[in-house]
């Protein structure tokens, strides 16, 4: 029962759609009606409001980190289950018809909570790739393709398995981006939609 409640609580925290809430509070309407229709920071940036995009990125990452750190500090095991649950909550929030974000910021936040060197490495790779190619999806796919190897190096095979699961889901949520990349139609970072 304790594990069940842990997973449900982590899922509910992960399901908080910060991008949607912040853009509505700022009077920008429903973020799902512009650009990619996604609730994440990259799509919030397409509104032209860099502050809201940064806040969305930070809060989406923070919910992943906070859940993991809370469970690690107060719980007796269950860190990986909490990590997956908060991540799934972000991807599939029930109050948005199970259509959430793509998981990049929350996944990075989970990595920071589970193993901070892994999280820092992944954030640095994302930033470097994004600055060079100006494509958020390419940066994300690069990070989550490398993360299992980095997780093994920085911590353990168990963390690597967590990174494989999260990475596989990130690739799945980016399937439309991958199709656009193959046709050269993927919008660059900051392009308004």
Mean pLDDT, range 155-160, rounded to an integer: 95
Q: Spell out a b/e string for 33-64, using b for 16 or more CB atoms within 10 Å of the CB, else e.
A: ebbbebbbbbbbbbbebeebbebbbebbbbbb
Tell me: pLDDT of 193 over 80: no
Burial class (CB in 10 A: 0-12, 13-18, 19+), 116: middle
Does the pTM surpass 0.85? The reply is: yes
The confidence score (pLDDT) of residue 45 equals 85
Residue 145 in contact with residue 167, Cβ under 8 Å?
yes
Neighbouring residues of 190: CB distance < 8 A, sequence distance ≥ 6: 45, 46, 134
The confidence score (pLDDT) of residue 191 equals 63
Q: What are 60-69's pLDDT values in tens digits? A: 999 999 999 9
The confidence score (pLDDT) of residue 46 equals 84
The C-alpha R_g of the chain, in whole angstroms, comes to 16
Mean pLDDT, range 76-105, rounded to an integer: 92
What mean pLDDT value characterizes the chain?
A: 92
Tell me: pLDDT of 83 over 90: yes
Measure the CA–CA gap between 53 and 136, rounded to whole angstroms. Answer: 13
Question: Other C-beta atoms within 10 Å of 8: how many?
Answer: 12
Q: Give the domain ranges of the chain.
A: 2-183
């Amino acid at each position: 029962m304790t594990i069940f409640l842990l997973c449900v609580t982590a899922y509910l925290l992960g399901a908080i759609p910060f991008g949607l809430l912040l853009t509505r509070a700022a009077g920008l309407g429903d973020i799902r009606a512009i650009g990619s229709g996604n609730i994440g920071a990259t799509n919030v940036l397409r509104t032209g409001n860099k502050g809201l995009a940064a806040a969305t990125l930070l809060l989406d990452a923070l919910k992943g980190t906070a859940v993991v750190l809370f469970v690690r500090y107060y719980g007796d095991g269950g860190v990986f289950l909490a990590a997956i649950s908060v991540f799934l909550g972000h991807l599939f929030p029930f109050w948005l018809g199970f259509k959430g974000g793509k998981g990049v910021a929350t996944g990075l936040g989970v990595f920071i909570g589970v193993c901070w060197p892994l999280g820092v490495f992944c954030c640095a790779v994302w930033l470097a790739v994004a600055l060079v190619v100006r494509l958020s999806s390419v940066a994300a796919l690069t990070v989550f393709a490398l993360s299992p190897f980095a997780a093994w190096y920085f911590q353990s095979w168990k963390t690597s398995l967590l990174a494989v699961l999260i990475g596989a889901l990130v690739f799945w949520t980016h399937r439309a981006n991958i199709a656009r990349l193959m046709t050269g139609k993927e919008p660059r970072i900051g392009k308004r939609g």
